[in-house]
Structure 1
Amino acid sequence: MKNASNPSVQQFKAFIHEHPLLIKEIKSGEMSLQEAYEQYVLLGEEDPAWGKYKAPQDNNESEDTSTNQLYQKFWKHIEKLDVNQVENHINDLNGAIDNIVTLIDQFKQFRNSQMGQSQSDNFFYKPKD
């Protein structure tokens, strides 16, 4: 494996990335990289012995099916949704937000007027003799 530009080495690199359990075994010291490469050259990519080093695909497939089921449920609920009712709720919410903004503005005005009075009282304060 001294020559990294060798096509078989490049193929082996790609093969290693497809077999994460083989990488794990090499890193743990159960097999050396040289041994793995020699077996790769002798057995070839298609040998059934490499099957035990592939990542389990069941997790990805089960996640895909559960995601698809979730999307299907979501779209069923969307299809049942009454658009007019949603629009009414949005309008009600918009009105509530407007009322809250008005209340906040009134509170700010009240606070500013209170602050203005106390500052003006202190600014012109002169002690009586």
Structure 2
Amino acid sequence: MAQKKARPSVEKFKEFVKKHPKLRQEVKNGNHTWQDLFEEWYMFGGDHEQWEAYRGETAEEASGNEKEKSDQSSKSELMTLLLHSVKNMDINQIQQYIANANQALGAIQGVISSFQGEQPKVEEQVVQEQQQRPNPFVFRKD
């Protein structure tokens, strides 16, 4: 059986649809029929502004995707650098810094409570509770 050769306008419309892949989705969704789209394309031409919504990924979108990929790679590089830095930290030294900060905060609380005046009983209770509680920043080796 011999194949019928399609009209040149049909072939051009097929090329147009390849450049505007979102048209296929419109037909699948039932928003348009191929006949309606062909007639509009034939009347208005492929350069009409109504077809811009159906165009494939533009150069701007492609560059936006490239930018997202570069952002993700820079984030992964940052995470790698951060994890490498954490590996190289001396836990004992960090624990000492935290203990010093804890003492400094205790001294600041003492100064503030001395200016408040009337609440020495509450301050003593807080100090006793702090002394009874274990240090939450203690790191122990397994």
TM bracket (short chain): 0.3 to 0.5
Query: TM-score, normalised on structure 1?
Result: 0.45
Structure 1 or 2: more helix by fraction: 1
